[in-house]
């Protein structure tokens, strides 16, 4: 498979050639360049490509477009990640209409697959602001990535709180990377570039047109394990994100609100329709415990292993998830039970070990 990015960008501008057809073309011809070199008959043989679409590809002439876009991204120290790249978010690949490419400023992290979206109104109440900050802070403290859309209001609070807490955040925008919207979020955007990622499928120079935001919302929903809605009116864009999350078989969480407040209508309606009512982050973690089990183990290892003493590591390597009696462990390691119990207690405080009834011990990951 050879996907040269300028020609991929060129193909994306051909009328009638959306992401699904583009992926089919690349899968068939194994090269973006060969798509343009194919005959009309060869193109028509691809599922979804009719005579009109084949002729649009053959008649394409603006080959400078892709090169210009590529150079503009490089000038911003950004990159273009394609669907076929290893760094393309694996969670996003699983939706039925993933973007073929993403303009990226910042970097992805392996733990971004364990992320949650926070969305809501652009004009939250005092209650909404407090809750948005609390949820974002609690998620960040757990090591989870916070994803949002960089809009005013709840989105901005989610991103800024994640950063101030020392966590990771990803902003998905509805404009080009070089068109920061809203403009007052320039400093916040620069902070996200440094400690997280700003991504978009919109080309460089693209304005924040209304038509771009539903597309952006599908990326927010597709990047995450679930979407948390904090204050949303009856026609809020946050509800579009929530509905897309349901379409992608992801979880939807909603913060209940005052029934007399119009900003609570969307969240309360989502709850009536089956969204998980959230009173604390524990409600979210409990709903996602299966998906987050592996994350908890990986995060624990990466964050805490460096802090362990050599004797603690030695004991830990000899424990499994199968219970072992303290006496058997002492014989295995040729140590006294007194010495072992002291170290095991320390490991239990660090949440690496759990003691079961009968002086049995197990590793917690």
Check whether 349 has a pLDDT greater than 80: no
- Give the C-alpha separation, 285 to 292, whole Å: 8
- Give the C-alpha separation, 155 to 172, whole Å: 10
* CA-to-CA separations, 79 to 2, 4, 73, 136, 217, in angstroms, rounded: 17, 13, 6, 27, 21
pLDDT of residue 306: 64
* Count of other CB atoms within 10 angstroms of residue 47: 9
pLDDT of residue 235: 85
pLDDT of residue 345: 83
The predicted model gives 217-224 an average pLDDT of 98
What would the two tokens of residue 20 be?
């699904």
- Give the C-alpha separation, 100 to 3, whole Å: 11
pLDDT of residue 297: 59
Check whether 305 has a pLDDT greater than 70: no
Q: Categorize the per-residue pLDDT at 289 as very low, low, confident or very high, splitting at 50, 70 and 90.
A: confident
List of E strands, 132-237: 145-148, 169-172, 197-200, 226-230
User: Do the Cβ atoms of 128 and 230 come closer than 8 Å?
Assistant: yes
- Give the C-alpha separation, 177 to 207, whole Å: 10
Helix residue ranges, H only, the chain? 5-12, 19-29, 32-37, 40-44, 51-58, 64-75, 90-93, 126-141, 154-164, 186-195, 212-223, 237-247, 265-272, 281-287, 289-304, 310-317, 326-333, 337-349
For the ranges 169-183, 214-228, 268-282, 346-360, the lowest mean pLDDT is seen at 346-360
User: Do the Cβ atoms of 49 and 43 come closer than 8 Å?
Assistant: yes
Check whether 41 has a pLDDT greater than 90: yes
Virtual torsion, Cα 8, 11, 12, 14, nearest 10 deg: 170
pLDDT of residue 1: 64
pLDDT of residue 300: 53
For the whole model, what pTM was predicted?
Answer: 0.81
Q: Categorize the per-residue pLDDT at 162 as very low, low, confident or very high, splitting at 50, 70 and 90.
A: very high
pLDDT of residue 2: 76
Mean pLDDT of the chain: 92
User: Do the Cβ atoms of 157 and 185 come closer than 8 Å?
Assistant: no
Q: Categorize the per-residue pLDDT at 143 as very low, low, confident or very high, splitting at 50, 70 and 90.
A: confident
* Count of other CB atoms within 10 angstroms of residue 290: 7
Check whether 129 has a pLDDT greater than 90: yes
Q: What is the pLDDT of residues 68-105, one digit of tens each?
A: 999 999 999 999 999 999 999 999 999 999 999 999 99
* CA-to-CA separations, 146 to 19, 36, 156, 195, 232, in angstroms, rounded: 26, 39, 11, 12, 18
Q: Categorize the per-residue pLDDT at 304 as very low, low, confident or very high, splitting at 50, 70 and 90.
A: low
pLDDT of residue 363: 86
The predicted model gives 43-48 an average pLDDT of 91
- Identify which of 231, 150, 229, 230 has the alpha carbon closest to the alpha carbon of residue 196: 150
List of E strands, 83-153: 101-106, 115-120, 145-148
Q: Which residue has the higher pLDDT, 354 or 304?
A: 354
Check whether 307 has a pLDDT greater than 80: no
pLDDT of residue 124: 96
* Count of other CB atoms within 10 angstroms of residue 153: 19
Domains of the chain by range and CATH? 1-75 (1.10.150.20), 104-290 (3.40.50.450), 308-363 (1.10.10.10)
Check whether 25 has a pLDDT greater than 90: yes
User: Do the Cβ atoms of 191 and 165 come closer than 8 Å?
Assistant: no
- Give the C-alpha separation, 292 to 305, whole Å: 19
* Tokens 């992926």 -> residue: 23
For the ranges 33-47, 287-301, 311-325, the lowest mean pLDDT is seen at 287-301
Check whether 343 has a pLDDT greater than 80: yes
pLDDT of residue 111: 86
pLDDT of residue 301: 53
Q: Categorize the per-residue pLDDT at 313 as very low, low, confident or very high, splitting at 50, 70 and 90.
A: confident
Q: Categorize the per-residue pLDDT at 222 as very low, low, confident or very high, splitting at 50, 70 and 90.
A: very high
* CA-to-CA separations, 263 to 100, 109, 245, 270, in angstroms, rounded: 35, 34, 20, 13
- Give the C-alpha separation, 233 to 7, whole Å: 41
């Amino acid at each position: 498979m050879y996907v040269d990015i300028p020609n991929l960008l060129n193909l994306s501008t051909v009328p009638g050639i959306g992401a699904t057809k583009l992926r089919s073309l690349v899968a068939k011809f194994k090269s973006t360049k060969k798509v343009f070199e194919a005959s009309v008959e060869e193109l028509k043989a691809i599922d979804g490509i009719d005579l009109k679409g084949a002729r649009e590809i053959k008649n394409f002439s603006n080959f400078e477009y892709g090169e210009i876009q590529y150079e503009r991204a490089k000038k911003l120290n950004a990159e273009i990640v394609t669907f076929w790249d290893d760094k393309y978010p694996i969670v996003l690949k699983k939706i039925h209409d993933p973007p073929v490419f993403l303009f990226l400023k910042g970097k992805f992290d392996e733990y971004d697959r364990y992320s949650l979206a926070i969305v809501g109104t652009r004009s939250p109440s005092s209650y909404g602001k407090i809750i948005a900050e609390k949820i974002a802070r609690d998620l960040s403290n757990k090591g989870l990535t916070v994803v949002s859309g960089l809009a005013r209001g709840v989105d901005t609070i989610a991103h800024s709180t994640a950063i101030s807490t020392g966590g990771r955040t990803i902003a998905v925008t509805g404009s080009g990377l070089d068109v920061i919207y809203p403009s007052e979020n320039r400093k916040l955007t620069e902070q996200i570039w440094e400690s997280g990622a700003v991504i978009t499928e919109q080309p460089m120079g693209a304005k924040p047109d209304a038509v771009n935001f539903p597309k952006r919302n599908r990326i927010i929903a597709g990047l995450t394990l679930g979407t948390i809605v904090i204050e949303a009116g009856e026609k809020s864009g946050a509800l579009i994100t929530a509905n897309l999350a349901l379409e992608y078989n992801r979880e939807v969480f909603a913060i209940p609100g005052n029934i007399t407040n119009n900003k609570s209508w969307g969240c309360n309606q989502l709850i009536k329709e089956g969204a998980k009512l959230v009173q604390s982050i524990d409600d979210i973690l409990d709903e996602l415990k299966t998906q987050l089990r592996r994350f908890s183990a990986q995060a624990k290892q990466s964050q805490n292993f460096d802090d362990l003493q050599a004797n603690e590591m030695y004991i830990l390597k000899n424990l499994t998830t199968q219970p072992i009696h303290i006496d058997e462990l002492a014989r295995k390691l040729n140590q006294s039970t007194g010495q072992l119990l002291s170290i095991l207690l320390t490991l239990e405080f660090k949440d690496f070990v759990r003691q079961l009834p009968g002086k049995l011990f197990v590793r917690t990951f």
